[in-house]
Structure formats: structure tokens, C-alpha cells
Amino acid sequence: MSKRRTVQLILLSLLIIVAFVTVGCTQSTAEPTLTPNEAITIGLLIPNNISFFTVLADGAVEAAARFNVTLHVREANDTLATQQAQIQEMIDQQVQAIIIVPVDTEAIVPSLQAANDAGIAIFTVDRSADTDVIIAHIASDNAAGGHMAADYLAETIGRQGNVVELTGIAGTSAAQERGRGFNEAIAAFPNIQIVAQETGNFNLAEGQQAFAAILSEHADIAAVFAHNDDMILGAIAAAQEVGRANQIVFVGFDAIDAAVTALENGELNATIAQQPAEMGRLGVETAVLYLQGNTTPNFIPVELSLITK
């Protein structure tokens, strides 16, 4: 055999070895594959039945169906005692995991700790809880969304004017983070003044009532930012009732269907789009992944985007 032929065979052998090693490494580092498991039962606890959370639940139901997971969905009507009772119900039913959007970030902690003590894996979605028993939190960056809303609002009103903030439920991380992001960003515009901050508790009717009262006290309002779309839709209705809607810039948060329609109609200027169905899907898939013995990140971000008319 010639020397040249010997070298060629050696090089070919090395290429084959490298190929096998590469394939082996690829297989060993691949992400775990979810498999259907009829033995898994999960509780999904949402705070109320507004559009955002019903869409989130729909995403979770779809994912549960794909993996043959039994999913118990409960809605708390924004009542802490109800959600606490629902957690106890999940403990009594011996579910393997609870996915929860807390009614109150701090007050729900003892109930979550009790569920953890019962061997239940805890996951939070959209709103966090102040406890280290949480396996993973799936959410958008609410503070970044508040910042995004502030920047858009400021530029739209020419970086000057009186602004109103309609806040969500005080005890929730979503309201706290969206408010923090908005206020930090708006502080960079010295000619913008926040003249009123009132809670609408993430509720359309309460948002409308709160903004109606603000309109009666302030003749000059350039813009309003609400921590969710239900409240901003209520604010639009209040402004329409007194003929001032065309004078005000309205910015919401969530991009629910009704808000998208309001954008298309020219009533709403902008909203920060979350992906509630994706949150629900990721909640179930992350829980299944964990229960099948895989490691999961402790925070799973869901992308935000600004939608304008």
C-alpha cells in the first residue's frame, strides 16, 4: 500500500471517529422530551375570569390534553379566602403540581407552603409569590412592559403634559412591577407630571369609575396608562361619556381581544402585548417536565411587544 493511500485511510478513520463523537455529544445534551403520562394531575388556580386569564387557562387545557394530564381549573373571583380554599382542595385531591396566579403575592404564601409540605410542586404564572417553594415562575417582564408603555406614552404626547396611572390590585406582583417600570421610565421626562394614581383593581367597571372621578377633578389630562386592558377600556368609556376621549392618549397592558378591537377602531392608542395562552401552555409543560424528573429553569420569560394603532 502506498504512503499516500495509508494517509488517506487514517484521515478517513479520524473523520468517522469525530462524527460518532459529535453525534454522541448531541444526543447527550439534547433537551428532555415530554411524554404523555396519565398519572399526572395538576391544579390550575387563576384569580378571576377576565379575558386574559381565560385565555391563559385555554392554553393550559390544550397542553394538558396533549400530555394526557388531568387538569383541575379553579377561579377565585379575586378573593384570597377562595384561593386559599382551592389550594386546600388540591392538597386533599393529592395533585402532583399546582400552577397558580396568586390573588395576593404575600398573603397566599402560607397556603403554598402547606401545599409544598404535602409534596406538591408549585409553579407560578404571570404573578409571583414571595416564597422559595416555587419551582419555576413563568411570566413576562412586567417592569420592562411598564417601561415600554411609559416611553411610548411620553413620545406620543410630546414629552410633556399631565398623566394618569390606573393601578392594579396592590398585593400583586404584576401591579407592583408594571407600576415600578412605568414610574421609573416616566421620571426621565421632567415636563410630564403624574397628576393622579388610582386603583381600578384590574377591573373594567372600577377602572371606569376611578377615571370618571379623575376627569371631574382635572380639566387637562394628556394621557392615561392602566396596568391592564380592562381598566383602560373602562377609562376610555368614562372619557367618551364626557366627550373627552379624543383629547387623551390611552395605553393599556395585555392585548386582550377587546383591546385589539379598540386599537383597530382608533379608541385605544397602544397596549403591551403579553401571550397568556403561551404562559398557560408553558406552565403545564414545565410542570410535566419537572414531574418526569427533569431540571427546569426557575424563571421562564415570555416575550412582550408594543402594539399601536
DSSP string, 85-113: HHHHHHHHTT-SEEEE--SSTTTTHHHHH
Low pLDDT (below 70) residues in the chain: 1-38
Domain-wise residue ranges, the chain: 41-140+276-303, 142-273
Would you say the CATH fold of 142-273 matches that of 41-140+276-303? yes
Q: Which CATH superfamily is domain 142-273 in?
A: Response regulator (3.40.50.2300)
pLDDT value for 36:
58
Cell numbers describing residue 23: 453525534
pLDDT value for 108:
97
Residue 42 three-state SS: strand
pLDDT value for 29:
29
The partner residues of 250 in beta bridges, in order of sequence, read: 224
Residue 58 three-state SS: helix
The number of beta carbons lying within 10 Å of the beta carbon of residue 158 is 11
| Spatial CB neighbours of 39, under 8 Å, sequence gap ≥ 6 | none
Q: CA–CA separation, 194 vs 224, rounded Å? A: 9
Q: Does the reported pTM lie above 0.95?
A: no
Cell numbers describing residue 182: 412605568
- In CATH terms, 41-140+276-303 corresponds, of 3.40.50.2300, 3.30.360.10, 3.40.50.620, 3.40.640.10, to 3.40.50.2300
User: How many CA atoms within 13 Å lie on the side-chain side of 17?
Assistant: 6
